Chains A and B, each alone.
Chain A
Amino acid sequence: MSGRERSRPTIQEARRLAALIEPHLDALFRAAYRLCRSVPDAEDLVQDVCLRVYDRRGQLERADSPRAWLLRVQLNLHIDAAWRRRAVAEPLDDERHGARPLPGPDEQGPEEHAEAARLAEMLNRGWRLLTPDQQALLALYAEGYSLAEMIEITGVPLGALKARLHRARARLGSLLDADRQPPRIAAVSGESR
């Protein structure tokens, strides 16, 4: 019997573990969405957490706060995956312009919708340029976790956590700021040729 066979969960074990995760599914998905900024990717991340839980079910069962433990696993999975990508492609402003959605129809409340959509796209673009650790801290922050909870989840000491959180906020703010500036290479707008 191989190790893989031995580690295959029985349906009873799977149900028991699923019952442990179920109360925290909403928190996991919300944090995953904040991290990935896409529903399918967030679902993938939650699924990876579920796969991981079986191997470490003992830790989950012994954890003082299962939610904090699950979130820590999730953040680490996200950070690991993100750091493996060593190079990034950053679109220029002309293409950013191209990615902007068209105004919605009248019945959608076009002005409000367009503003919300514009902000969401700016946030998406800025988010991708943050480091994975900054994304992790801001995802928890956006979800309203307190500093004490964030310490429990991330294991970062209070002083360092405060400094990193402030830097992460300022970095995101500067990226949003930069996004509002006119295109850096105005002559190459996608529509100009």
Chain B
Amino acid sequence: MNCHDVAAALDERRADTLAAEVLRAVETHAEGCDECRRALEAERALRADRVPQTPALDLVRLVAAHAGRADAGGGRRRRSTLRPAIIGVLAVGGAAFAALGVFSTGSRDGGGAVHEAPATAARPDAGGVRPEAALTAARRSLIEYVDEAETAAANALREELMRLPTPPDGDMFALLKVPPSYPPRAAAQALEGYAIVEFTVTRAGDVADPVIVESSDPIFEAPTLEAIRRAKYKPRVVNGRAVAVQGIRNRFTYVVEAPREEAGREGAPEARQTEGDLSFSEFRALLGPALDCVERSDLLCVELSLDEIRAIHSLTARQESELARIYGFVYHRLGDYERAIAAYERAARPFDEPPFEGSDNWFAGPWMTAAMIHYERHRYQEALDAAIRYLRAVENPRPADYVFVDRLRQLGAIVR
């Protein structure tokens, strides 16, 4: 058997389906041929690689989202009854989701106390009086209400994690790497090269004191420093405390690549539309009826109100995000975890590439909630993926957020 035969055997049939004698011949040849050994090794690595289950995607909504406008009608699923929110019992953080269960109906056994609604959404009819001022304030605050309820749940989980008798330690890893800009002069001359930069990862996960230790040409040093300064890390955690790590090195490689052939190519996706027809205050006012539904614990009514807003109005990306987060909140309360996670991801994703102007912790929050729902469902890999997206987006992560990530890694999830 020669290299050509090995390639043909691997092309036609994956190694696990090759006849035993053919596989033996392939392996015998590979022992004396580096290239074929590597090809066989790659084939085996790919074969061993697992693909997660396909998530439930709302295709109608995705297709309808063309031109930036999603018609919610096609994706609706109506339920005839309102189920109480299912509060999972967590190995860690059992109380966390109790905080989210503010609209659960009926009593609950275990799982922690039912929290009162956040202060900003205090029931305006308390004491039999319904002052207009309180009602107006409440109607402006449905989004804040959701934010506060979810933040309370996240904080409960954080507290549980920090109370672990032996908090997991975890090493640092990169959350965000920003590609350097190619120096125009180097690009014009098709000059390729590299630069090695050494830096410290601070307790906050930022890059400090970057210095170039080696480069093929000084021209590559400035963009390398600029890029590494914008990187973000999950810091090393020891005994529940983040510590700085010095002396990390990164190599930035600059390669001029050939332009793509144009024939038969699909073009770049269109930029997402962001203009809307509602002002900030108009949008908030439209959410008033939905808040009324929330106060009645009528979550289907909330969903219908939100659907109506989406069907009638063209929304900005931020408004879409805020609406998606409320959808996520409602679906979570209804126990529809898949749709809840999809909604939270929809809420966070448009603002997922920092630095996004106006990006703040609010937009990172949905990733944390999605991570907690996965965690509750014992889907640690998905939880870690979402937690990393959270850390990438959040401005001021807490030490417990790092412990959460390390806990998920300890439970078997990997950084990918």
Whether A11 lies near B254 (C-beta < 8 A) is no
Choose one: B67, B174, B265, B413; the contact of A80 (CB below 8 Å): B265
For residue B223, which residues in chain A have a CB less than 8 angstroms away from its CB? 87
Instruction: Please state if A83 and B257 are interface contacts (CB–CB under 8 Å).
Output: yes
B55 to chain A, nearest CB (A): 6
Docked-complex contact A48 and B269, CB < 8 angstroms? yes
Residue of A nearest to B389 (CB): A40
A14 pairs with B416, CB closer than 8 A: no
Of chain B, the residue at the smallest CB distance from A80 is B268
Answer whether residue A173 sits at the interface, using C-beta atoms and an 8 A cutoff: yes
**A181 an interface residue at 8 Å Cβ cutoff?**
no
Q: Is the CB of A8 within 8 A of B406?
A: no
Contact B14 A144 (CB under 8 A): yes
Interface residue A63 (Cβ < 8 Å from any Cβ of B): no
| Residue B252, interface by CB 8 Å | yes
**What 5 pairs between A and B have smallest CB-CB spacing?**
A173-B38, A18-B59, A172-B42, A169-B39, A193-B247
Cα distance A169–B205 in the bound complex, in angstroms: 36
Q: Are A169 and B49 closer than 8 Å at their CB atoms? A: no
Interface string of B1-39 (1 = CB under 8 A from A): 000000110111010000000000000000000011111
Count A-B pairs with CB separation below 8 Å. Answer: 267
Which DSSP category, helix, strand, loop or mixed, fits chain B's interface?
mixed
Given contact pairs A14-B74, A34-B51, A83-B260, enumerate 20 new A-B contacts (beta carbons under 8 Å): A9-B66, A11-B73, A18-B63, A38-B385, A40-B389, A51-B62, A89-B179, A90-B253, A92-B251, A100-B171, A101-B409, A101-B415, A102-B169, A138-B46, A169-B10, A170-B39, A173-B39, A176-B41, A176-B45, A189-B247
Chain A positions within 8 Å of B37 at CB level: 173
Does A64 belong to the interface (CB within 8 Å)?
no
Q: Which residues of A contact B252 (CB under 8 A)?
A: 87-90
Interchain nearest-CB distance for A62 vs B (Å): 16
B51/A53 in contact, CB under 8 A: no
Closest Cβ–Cβ distance, residue B23 to chain A (whole Å): 16
Contact across chains for B59 and A25 when beta carbons are under 8 A apart: yes
- Quote the shortest CB–CB distance from A153 to chain B (angstroms): 12
In the complex, chain A residues 128-172 whose Cβ is within 8 Å of any chain B Cβ: 138, 141-142, 144, 146-147, 155, 162, 165-166, 168-172
A121 to B415, CA, bound (A): 7
Interface bits B273-294 vs A (CB < 8 Å: 1, else 0) = 1000000000000000000000
Query: Which chain A residues border B47 with CB–CB below 8 Å?
Result: 142
Contact of A102 among B71, B168, B181 (CB under 8 A): B168
Q: Which of B55, B250, B265 contacts A92 (CB 8 A)?
A: B250
What chain B residues lie within 8 Å of A113 (beta carbons)? 412
Size of interface on B: residues with Cβ below 8 Å to A: 94
Could you pull out 7 A-B pairs where Cβ atoms are within 8 angstroms? A15-B60, A15-B74, A52-B269, A55-B66, A76-B266, A169-B43, A190-B171
Which residues of chain A are within 8 angstroms of B40 by Cβ–Cβ distance?
173
Which residues from chain B contact A94 at a C-beta distance below 8 Å? 247-249
Contact with A along B164-177 (1 / 0, CB 8 A): 00001111111001
CB contacts (< 8 Å) of A141 on chain B: these are: 46
B266 A54 Cβ-Cβ under 8 A: no
Q: Is B208 an interface residue (CB 8 A)?
A: no
Assess the B66–A21 pair: CB atoms within 8 A. Answer: no
State whether B7 touches A117 (Cβ < 8 A). Answer: no
